[in-house]
Structure 1
Amino acid sequence: MDPIRVLFVCPHNSGRSLMAEAFLQRLGQGRFAARSAGTAPTTVAPLVREVMREANFEFRDHGTADIRDLLREKPPYHYVITTSGPDELRDMPPLPGQTVRLNWPFPDPERVTGSPEERLAAARAIRDDIRTQVIRFLHDLA
């Protein structure tokens, strides 16, 4: 059976969408082909690299992707999941009609404030919330 194709999207593809992709790839046990992209991709946020390294993920050589490029792939994605608020993704291109669109609004780890320890704690909480949501998604599809 072909894997379920899932595309995670956030504006910069620098944090939330990358975390969701990594967790689905690991926890999905080969049932999913997960990718991530941004509407205006930049680079992986250093804070995200750090908290994901703590969870045994390496984003050292991981680049970011543009959603327009990934939506051209065939076959189309079964699910496109935005990991930020809907207002942040005004530039989303249209999706094929059969694609299920979901929104998982998480705070942006690049926008957390406070001391370095507070920022790290906030990024860890976002990471853990994303992992929990991926687990819920897996249970819903089981």
Structure 2
Amino acid sequence: MPPIRVLFICVHNSGRSQIAEAFLRKFGQDRFEVQSAGTAPTAISPLVLNVMREDGFDLANNVASNVLAQLRGNPPFHYVISTCGPETLSRLPQLPYGTISLSWAFPDPELVTGSPEEQRSAARAIRDDIRTQVIRFLHDVASPLG
């Protein structure tokens, strides 16, 4: 069976969508072809790089990509998942028939405030919430494929 194609999106592709992509790649194994992109891509957040490294992921070589290029330059995705809420989905062109769009609203790690340790703690919580949602997605959506 061909892999299920998933595109995670957020505004900058600098945090939340990168985290979701990393977790689905790990937990979904070869059942998924996964990408991430942003509507206005920028460099990956150093805070995200650090908290993902703590969890065994090296995102240092990841490059943020543009969602429009991903949608144009690839076969249709089965799922397009916003990690920053429904407003990002509304900025996309009409998705191909059969594409399922989902909205997961997580706080932006780039906007957390406080001391460096408070920022890391907040980013860890966001990372862990995204991990939980990816596992839920695998359970609810991918498991019945057999």
Report if TM-score (shorter chain) is over 0.5: yes
Q: What are the within-5 Å matches in structure 2 for residues 35-54 of structure 1? A: 35-54=35-54
What corresponds to 1:60 in structure 2? 60
Report the Cα distance in structure 2 between the residues aligned to 1:3 and 1:88, rounded to whole angstroms: 25
Structure (1 or 2) with the greater helix fraction: 2
Paired with 2:131 and 2:43, the residues of 1 have a C-alpha distance of 21
Corresponding residue number in structure 1 for 2:81: 81
CA distance in 1, matches of 2:88, 2:71: 19
Shift of 1:23: 0.2
Question: Quick one: which amino acid aligns to residue 65 of structure 1?
Answer: S
Q: For the Cα contact (< 8 Å) 2:37–2:66, is it kept in 1?
A: yes
1:131 alignment partner in structure 2:
131
Query: Alpha carbons of 1:88 and 1:99: their partners in 2 closer, same or farther (altered >3 Å)?
Result: closer
TM-score by length of 2: 0.93
User: Per-residue displacement from partner, 1:54-92 (whole Å, max 9, x unpaired)?
Assistant: 111111111100001110134200000000022355532
> 2:14 matched to 1:11?
no
Contact 1:14/1:43 (8 A) holds in 2: yes
Task: Decide whether aligned partners of structure 1 residues 74 and 89 sit closer, same or farther in structure 2, where only a CA change above 3 A counts.
Answer: closer
Aligned residue type for 1:111: L
Contact 1:6–1:35 (CA<8 Å) still a contact in 2?
yes
Corresponding residue number in structure 1 for 2:121: 121
Determine if contact 2:49/2:58 at 8 Å carries over to the other structure.
yes
Amino acid in the other structure paired with 2:35: R
The CA RMSD measured in Å over matched residues stands at 1.1
Kindly tell me the number of residue pairs found equivalent between the two proteins.
142
Paired-residue identity, %: 61
Quote the offset at 1:93 in angstroms.
Answer: 2.5
In the TM superposition, what are the counterparts of 1:14-29 in structure 2 within 5 Å? 14-29=14-29
